[in-house]
Structure 1
């Protein structure tokens, strides 16, 4: 099954600081392009080593793939565990926050599924939502509670909504961060030294130092804005979602806002042949925008 690329083009208007105007993040003349639509709710975009972008349609329980070669979208996996956030490891395994049964999945290139986690100390997770894999292979993931219509329970299995850390050898699972209202988006720096966590209900994004064995230290407020999903570019700018896409430099200063003509933007990532296309999942659609900067 393939969904044709949609040819509609939307003009983009943006607000930028003086610094962003000197070195524009958006490619000259670039416009926000609707890549495909007709979904129910898109989420979790993640690019593989070739620049192909995978994303979820959680209500329809599918993972889709946008092809860098054909510019077409096809179904990669049915019965995808109601996957939300996605992330690739160095061996091209696709990891998914699969909240149908509140699990963390590993999907091989042959679509073989391994359930890595489904509980913490005997209690079912609230609903793994988004994840990031550190350079050493350790996995940080958020576990907020969003009541799903396909669950039989209506109360949080775990009172605290936290960030967890799964060790590289997959034998240790620890609480990485707590004291958050509802952690959602998460991303780390390529050097593995810092982690950003968006507390969507507290309207804050926090920055942590990643210490030995994945321990999070020196929690600092990065910006007084929450986010659903998020990503980083190669210059260290952080991209937050919700109302369009809002970009902050490494000092936490807003440098750009990208309007998206949808009620909600859920997540972002960089992909494409040169890694300079910003992919935005927004409600029933996926958009692309050519940038002057590549992803992390």
Structure 2
């Protein structure tokens, strides 16, 4: 297994010396609630998640401040696509369109067209069979419009009852990062949306665990570990292929995606330091 050092660049989320101030009381209360429940009360300048590339634009979410940023990949310049009273986490592109699908931790799946002058959030689902969601986290979409999303809330080994939901059936298999189990799982998807014979595809080590996943055109999987500061690259059969170190970013890298020319650049970032 080879080892690769990655290069980094600074992403200016706030001006030098400026602290991000929520625009309203709702945003302030939202930030306090997020840091209390997710980071044991530690203050955060930002907590970057989500990852989707549309053309030369990378979209990121900032969970505690309810923001979605648009980053121009060639110049590293960013703009604020939208800020709202919510906790956006996972992002996915809906088919071939520029429309984004958002997994909001405040119990909802939303859609957004960031290219219009005044972007508006459109609810897709906030209940499943009448039951409220726990707290959606990540999601993926297929070209025919199917949406799969994880609904983990604050589950873990002490409460192993998170779920994966499928809105329209598509695809043949699904990989799910099980961060608290320090592994990720593989499960076949059947035409009716059911799953059988779910298995542990790979296991890791250290505190934390695998978080973001990305596949390349050859079917290889890139898995970013939330505390090790590295990405494990594995063949589609699970055998190790390479290890990408992100030591210049440090630990806390939780997401990644392919972007750039011909989708040959692997983009990753440190969630609370605005660095990628």
Normalised TM-score (structure 2): 0.75
User: What is the aligned counterpart of 1:267 among 246, 249, 255?
Assistant: 255
Shift of 1:51: 3.1
Change (3 A) 1:68 1:263: closer
Shift of 1:286: 5.0
Gaps of 5+ in 1: 1-16, 148-155, 169-190, 289-296
Shift of 1:104: 0.2
User: What is the aligned counterpart of 1:40 among 23, 46, 52?
Assistant: 46
User: What is the aligned counterpart of 2:220 among 237, 262, 265?
Assistant: 237
Residue equivalent to 1:163? 164
Change (3 A) 1:69 1:281: closer
Partner Cα separation in structure 2 for residue 94 and residue 236 of structure 1: 24
Gaps of 5+ in 2: 14-44
Residue equivalent to 1:210? 189
Partner Cα separation in structure 2 for residue 37 and residue 254 of structure 1: 34
Change (3 A) 1:199 1:248: same
Residue equivalent to 2:149? 141
Residue equivalent to 2:140? 132
Normalised TM-score (structure 1): 0.70
Q: How many residues align?
A: 229
Partner Cα separation in structure 1 for residue 85 and residue 192 of structure 2: 31
Shift of 1:95: 0.4
CA RMSD of aligned residues (A): 2.4
Partner Cα separation in structure 2 for residue 195 and residue 286 of structure 1: 30
User: Structure with the greater relative contact order (CA < 8 A, sep ≥ 6): 1 or 2?
Assistant: 1
Partner Cα separation in structure 1 for residue 262 and residue 80 of structure 2: 23
State the secondary structure of the residue aligned to 2:198.
strand
Partner Cα separation in structure 1 for residue 47 and residue 240 of structure 2: 27
**Contact 1:135/1:192, CA 8 A, preserved across alignment:** no
User: What is the aligned counterpart of 2:103 among 87, 94, 97?
Assistant: 97
Residue equivalent to 1:3? none
**Contact 1:138/1:214, CA 8 A, preserved across alignment:** no
Shift of 1:37: 4.9
**Contact 1:137/1:167, CA 8 A, preserved across alignment:** yes
Residue equivalent to 2:33? none
Change (3 A) 1:227 1:160: same
